[in-house]
Amino acid sequence: MTKVVIFDFDGTLTIDNNVWYKIWKELNMLDIDDYLYRKYKSNEFSYDEWVEQAFNYFIKGKLNIKTINKVAKETKLINNLNETFNILKSKNIKIYILSGGIKNVIDLVLKQSKNCIEKIEAHKLIFNNFGNLTNFENPDHNLRDKQEYIKRVINQLNIKANELLFVGNDWNDETACKTGCRTLCINAEETDENNTTIWHNHLKTNNLLDIMQYV
């Protein structure tokens, strides 16, 4: 029996380009995004260094709250997200969001569904009174290694690992399986959805209700 579902956000609950890409594009810094990503993937940066470099460039690029609002407005959610969340809540299944994305955007995009969500874990941007980015806050766990947070939820709720379903779609979701939870890949990006060691099930869909067969 499923007691908890933890969702990734970008590409899992959305059906368009991820939030990071949109912000870099708005700042006209896609070349810097590509440079930092290559540095990270070649192990020249740790995950934390990669994120810190990115946020520092956001500050240099004068990222403003108006841009965040614009990105949020343009972000398209997967179909029937609210309906799916309401069904899960009606079944007393707790919902968490665990994302390497931007919490400010996630909060805005999921506004209608926030009453169904226990907690949203993601990077948070800090803006001053003029709406300009001045700082950022990272969660106290490594969003590159999502198993750490999943284990915490399992322990806090005192549930069995297989009573938790993790739903993701990309390479940074792959460590979830190490917790013993059940894993579902939807609309795979940079991950092998056919690797049953990582993903117990997979599907391609634009309708979040399709996950209910795995809950």
Q: What is the CATH number of the domain that holds 189?
A: 3.40.50.1000
What is the average per-residue pLDDT within 129-142?
86
What is the average per-residue pLDDT within 74-82?
96
Q: Note whether 89 and 8 are same-domain residues.
A: yes
pLDDT of 18 reads: 83
**Single-letter amino acid, residue 46:** S
Q: Note whether 208 and 128 are same-domain residues.
A: yes
CA 23 to CA 33: how far, in whole Å? 10
Q: Note whether 195 and 104 are same-domain residues.
A: yes
Q: Note whether 106 and 141 are same-domain residues.
A: yes
CA 139 to CA 96: how far, in whole Å? 14
Q: Note whether 132 and 89 are same-domain residues.
A: yes
| Closest C-alpha among 120, 102, 110 to residue 82 | 110
Q: Note whether 52 and 116 are same-domain residues.
A: no
| Closest C-alpha among 70, 2, 23 to residue 211 | 2
- Strands 94-102 and 4-7, how do they pair? parallel
**pLDDT surpasses 90 at 48:** no
Residues 83-135: pLDDT tens digits? 999 999 999 999 999 998 999 999 999 988 989 999 999 999 999 999 999 99
Q: Note whether 64 and 122 are same-domain residues.
A: no
| C-alpha triplet 12, 113, 94: angle, nearest 5° | 75
CA 198 to CA 173: how far, in whole Å? 9
**Whole-structure pTM value:** 0.93
